[in-house]
Structure 1
Amino acid sequence: MPITPTEASAQAREICGLAPIVPVLVVHDVTHARPLAEALVAGGLPALEVTLRTPAALDVIAEMAKVEGGVVGAGTLVTPDDVTKAIEAGAKFGVSPGATDPLLDACEAQGLPLLPGAATASEAMALLARGYDMLKFFPAEASGGAPALKAIGAPLPQISFCPTGGVSPKNAATYLSLSNVVCAGGSWVAPSDLVKAGDWAAITSLAKEASQLARA
């Protein structure tokens, strides 16, 4: 069912509001999908972004979509074909490093709430003009970090962000203290060594710590 940009942003904002951190997941082995999702949800991080960076990604989304309490999205959406495949796999929202008209058109036509990426005021203004007011700030640290995002927010207070890219336990609280930040995306809650080892208890512990981070 088609969705408008305003509806897409409202739904994306609601998903972003579920927890202060959205795990950004690069999963290579589909057998890790369900226990990883269960560990993160148990730790208080229900919104999960599975990046389309591995051959297993779509199968991982399909498995994670079965986990009760989780809301699974597809990250690194670049083309309309990515959108179609993500929806077929069970993704409930999408995340993109940037935004193009073909990508936005595809998400709107197929009813997928999208968190489109922006790194500059001009990019953010272009998306706002189309109707998007909940955006991904990417790559966050490389684009100037929290000071840059705060500066962008001064003239554009109507836009909210999920900074991703270089967000870590050391700087997450600084990002979350900004009035224009709803949540942040981070990969540290599911480090590859713990995933490979199947140490789900440790991942749940990291998720619990992240879920307690305070937001503005």
Structure 2
Amino acid sequence: MLSLPPLLSSVIKGPSLLPIIQADTPHEAVAIAKAMQDGGIGSVEVVLRTRQALAAITAIRTALPDLLVGAGTVLSANDAKACKNAGAQFLVSPASTPTLLEAMINTGLPLAPGVATPSEVALAYEFGLRELKLFPAHLSGGIEMLKALSGVFQQVKFCPTGGVSQTNLAQFLALPNVFVAGGSWMSPSVMVKAQQWHQITALAADATAIANTTKSAA
């Protein structure tokens, strides 16, 4: 039996938000993270979609030590190890396989493996995991899917990602089986390219206000 790491929900800092950072350089990643932190964000997920992603994780950890920094788009055991070595404090994957789940668990880092179907939820459940990422949330049934899953998998909580936005954030976070919501809407690529850090801070502040209001009312 694998020894399970701490729950991701137990280490998340700040509001119930997990914004995604996709950066071409470590400097850019730090600028995005700082803009988000200025808007109240306490936790971020750096996705492994650029060549400098691992270096970006290390750079953010160094520049912003109070921010919780995780890695997303983890697809293999090598990815999991590399992310931990880079300083990632948690892991997120877009999908789940037995090999990937075992590798992520073995890092000892909190995790949220990706699922899109009840069978994938059941697979993760068999590994003892109770916090999962629903991805892509909007194409997997969104809010109605989460409601349906809540009746069957009563001990499982989710991080919906994909299609979550400022307009539907409150609806997702109001669900009792959602512990955090993720997405890239707080750092649109057009704003990143234009270095519009104040606008990213404003989006983060709006999302933070929504999250805090919704979760306090739950």
TM-score using structure 1 length:
0.92
Runs of 4 or more consecutive aligned structure 1 residues displaced over 3 Å after TM superposition = 15-18
Aligned to 2:22: 26
Q: Does structure 1 residue 153 correspond to structure 2 residue 150?
A: yes
Give the conservation status (yes or no) of the 8 Å contact 2:21–2:32: no
CA RMSD of aligned residues (A): 1.5
Q: Does structure 1 residue 79 correspond to structure 2 residue 69?
A: no
Percent identical pairs in the alignment equals 40
Aligned to 1:122: 119
Aligned to 1:208: 205
Aligned to 1:45: 41
How far has the Cα of 1:17 moved from its partner?
6.4
Give the conservation status (yes or no) of the 8 Å contact 2:41–2:208: yes
Give the conservation status (yes or no) of the 8 Å contact 2:13–2:43: no
Give the conservation status (yes or no) of the 8 Å contact 1:17–1:183: no
Aligned to 1:144: 141
Alignment of 1:95-114 (within 5 A): 95-114=92-111
Quote the Cα distance in structure 2 between the aligned partners of 1:50 and 1:64: 9
Quote the Cα distance in structure 2 between the aligned partners of 1:193 and 1:178: 31
Give the conservation status (yes or no) of the 8 Å contact 1:17–1:182: no
Give the conservation status (yes or no) of the 8 Å contact 1:16–1:182: no
Give the conservation status (yes or no) of the 8 Å contact 1:15–1:47: no
Letter in 1 for 2:189: S
Quote the Cα distance in structure 1 between the aligned partners of 2:150 and 2:12: 18
Letter in 1 for 2:29: A
Give the conservation status (yes or no) of the 8 Å contact 1:20–1:210: no
Quote the Cα distance in structure 2 between the aligned partners of 1:200 and 1:165: 23
Quote the Cα distance in structure 2 between the aligned partners of 1:166 and 1:16: 21
Give the conservation status (yes or no) of the 8 Å contact 2:22–2:29: no
Number of residue-to-residue matches in the alignment = 211
How far has the Cα of 1:16 moved from its partner?
4.2
Alignment of 1:183-194 (within 5 A): 183-194=180-191
Mark the CA change 1:106 to 1:49 in structure 2 (over 3 Å): closer, same or farther: same
Aligned to 2:52: 56
Query: Structure 1: where are the runs of 5+ without partners?
Result: none
How far has the Cα of 1:62 moved from its partner?
1.1
Quote the Cα distance in structure 2 between the aligned partners of 1:173 and 1:24: 18
Task: For residue 154 of structure 1, give the secondary structure of its aligned residue in structure 2.
Answer: helix
Q: Which moved more, 1:71-80 or 1:97-106?
A: 97-106
Quote the Cα distance in structure 1 between the aligned partners of 2:192 and 2:11: 24
TM-score using structure 2 length:
0.91
Query: Structure 2: where are the runs of 5+ without partners?
Result: none
Q: Which moved more, 1:139-148 or 1:21-30?
A: 21-30
Aligned to 1:180: 177
Aligned to 1:88: 85
Task: For residue 131 of structure 1, give the secondary structure of its aligned residue in structure 2.
Answer: coil
